[in-house]
Amino acid sequence: MQTADRFDVIVGKRRIPVATWGQEAPTVLLVHSWGGRGTQMGRLTAALVAAGYRAVSFDLPAHGEAGQGQTDIVECAAAIAAVAGKVGPTHGVLAYSFGVMATLLAARDHGMAIPRLVSIGAFEHCRWFMDAAREHLNLSEDVAQRICDRFEARHGYRATWNQLSVVELLRAARCSTLVIHDRFDREVPYSHSHALCTVGRHIEASPTVGLGHRRTLSDAGVIAASVAYFKRA
């Protein structure tokens, strides 16, 4: 981070800290996961800069240095679109897990262009995301439903839980996509990648074995495949 050019993007009442490396080069936006922060994409960032790209990472609302409090998928999507608008045209986006969903929602709701996408460990629908949270936090069905209801009401029912399908958002985005997912991912089952790959022939699968959900971001093979995919554009 000490070598980055840093600035803030203001989105509503949020301050989104942005870091960039490699000026005057094609821009790749890196989007972290729920509960993560921009620095978790560090090895991918370094590899992209070494390959001749301008890498841009940032912290989503209520993550990392972007403040505390509550956030949701709609606010995160707005932040992604705002950062993309600030840094100029993007050559591509590399997104991880929840970040894939938020990126595709930014494309649908804010018109953000995604020329190429590298998706790592994505789930197929936000319904699954809520089911996983419910199990992890031991929530009752009633509490989980109230969370969904409050989310929809907060956004004036412009975004409903059933509409938050990563598969359908990917279909609508029409972007060439590399789907990276580990066959032994215990957090987001590998079967989710099959659903994404049904979207069309412009979606490619690049499965890994034995990395689980989190080690994919630092794996040399995943990093090389990601950089090579952007180089093909």
Q: What's the token pair of residue 172?
A: 């609508």
| N- to C-terminal Cα separation, the chain | 28
Q: Say if 130 falls within a structural domain.
A: no
Range list of H helices, the chain: 42-50, 73-87, 98-110, 126-137, 141-154, 166-173, 191-197, 220-231
Q: In this predicted structure, what is the pLDDT of residue 68?
A: 86
pLDDT above 80: residue 233? no
pTM: 0.95
Q: In this predicted structure, what is the pLDDT of residue 130?
A: 86
157 vs 103, higher pLDDT = 103
- Domain of residue 19, CATH code: 3.40.50.1820
pLDDT above 90: residue 51? yes
pLDDT above 90: residue 129? no
pLDDT above 80: residue 225? yes
Q: Helix, strand or coil for residue 11?
A: strand
- Mean pLDDT across 113-121: 97
Domain with 221 in it: 5-125+164-231
Q: Is residue 107 very low, low, confident or very high in pLDDT (cuts 50, 70, 90)?
A: very high
pLDDT above 90: residue 157? no
pLDDT above 80: residue 137? yes
Number of domains in the chain: 1
Q: Is residue 193 very low, low, confident or very high in pLDDT (cuts 50, 70, 90)?
A: very high
Report the share of the chain in percent with pLDDT over 90.
85
pLDDT above 90: residue 81? yes
Q: Say if 138 falls within a structural domain.
A: no
Q: Say if 37 falls within a structural domain.
A: yes
Q: Helix, strand or coil for residue 230?
A: helix
pLDDT single digits (tens) 174-190: 999 999 999 999 999 99
Q: Say if 69 falls within a structural domain.
A: yes
Q: Say if 53 falls within a structural domain.
A: yes
Q: In this predicted structure, what is the pLDDT of residue 24?
A: 85
Answer for the pair 44, 107: CB distance below 8 angstroms, yes or no: no
Q: Say if 157 falls within a structural domain.
A: no
Q: Say if 170 falls within a structural domain.
A: yes
Q: Say if 158 falls within a structural domain.
A: no
Burial of 231 (0-12, 13-18, 19+ CB in 10 A): exposed
- Mean pLDDT across 99-127: 96
Q: For residue 54, which phi and psi values (nearest 5 degrees)? A: -90, 115
Q: In this predicted structure, what is the pLDDT of residue 23?
A: 83
By C-alpha distance, which of 14, 12, 105 is closest to 65?
14
The partner residues of 58 in beta bridges, in order of sequence, read 18
Residue 156 and residue 150: Cα distance in Å, rounded? 10
- Mean pLDDT across 8-27: 94
